Amino acid sequence: MRDRHALLRGAAETLPGDTPRLDAELLLAHVLGEERLAVLASREAVSETDAVRFERLLARRRTHEPVAHILGEREFWSLPFRVNRDVLVPRPDSETLVAEALAHFRGRPPERVLDLGTGSGALLLAVLSEWPEARGLGIDLSEAALAVARDNAARLELADRATFRAGDWVEGVEGRFDLILCNPPYIEAGAELMPDVALFEPASALFGGVDGLDPYRLLFPRMAGLLAPGGVAIFEFGVGQEVALGALAAEAGLASRLANDLSGRPRAILLRDGMH
């Protein structure tokens, strides 16, 4: 039998990344089938069998494999999302888009939602969980990603209101939407990434051309034709891209506003048809 707190201390000293202790706690909780806080509160010893299983997971994390991939799940907007190498791991910063959508439609829920580059389906399913009458369409070029999104919709009991289909951004998308969400690839080509990202997440969901802005150049001019009256499109973007995106929005005849994430950094741009 092994002391769980000694196990955690030793494990944290061997793991990469910014949150080694948290990672160790999450992995041990997974092995023991307990909530993380329950793991910390308990003094019960860990069996040798579970200690061996824990060490196997630690070995994977030492190769920089994301904890979300090891666990097969990541929480986003307090919902559990299945993730794998075919999709980006949902980040807390992306919850900014959900929060801004809720604020925009306070008191008048949207009916139709479009999620471009849906990946795991996290953005679309998060907003649908807040608006029981809303329906949504998620588009992604990757069939493997769409399989993950459909599975998440089924697990969250939202499959009856969420449709997912393969497509190249807005090509073939018909009708108008009250809310459009998009977390496009926005990293500059050739940028150095942390091993957790570079080795394990799909490059097609990360890199957005030489300056990272190619998806916005393509999509901003299409927004006015897809937004319903009073609708809004909310795009996530990277560090230092807000000025260029404001200019692109103006060129497309769109009114724009920036929104900050929890750290106070500009994270999302909200677009409305400048003619309405």
pLDDT at res. 107: 82
pLDDT at res. 186: 81
pLDDT at res. 275: 55
Asked if residue 162 and residue 78 are part of one domain, the reply reads yes
- Quote the domain boundaries for residue 245: 74-273
The sign of the CA dihedral 263, 268, 272, 274 is positive
| Pair 103, 95: CB distance under 8 Å | no
Token output for 242? 């807000």
**How buried is residue 251: exposed, middle or buried, by Cβ count under 10 Å (0-12/13-18/19+)?**
exposed
Asked if residue 244 and residue 159 are part of one domain, the reply reads yes
User: pLDDT digit string (tens) for 18-43?
Assistant: 899 999 999 999 999 999 999 899 89
Does residue 276 register a pLDDT over 70?
no
Question: In percent, how much of the chain has pLDDT > 90?
Answer: 81
Given 63, 82, 111, which residue is the final one in a domain?
Answer: 63
User: pLDDT digit string (tens) for 201-240?
Assistant: 777 777 667 788 999 999 999 999 999 999 999 999 998 8
Asked if residue 95 and residue 47 are part of one domain, the reply reads no
Asked if residue 125 and residue 214 are part of one domain, the reply reads yes
Question: In percent, how much of the chain has pLDDT > 70?
Answer: 97
In whole angstroms, what is the distance from residue 92 CA to residue 94 CA? 5
pLDDT at res. 207: 61
In a domain, 263, yes or no: yes
User: pLDDT digit string (tens) for 147-163?
Assistant: 999 999 999 999 999 99
From the list 13, 180, 18, the residue with the least C-alpha distance to 101 is: 180
| Mean pLDDT of the 66-82 span | 95
CATH code of 17's domain: 1.10.8.10
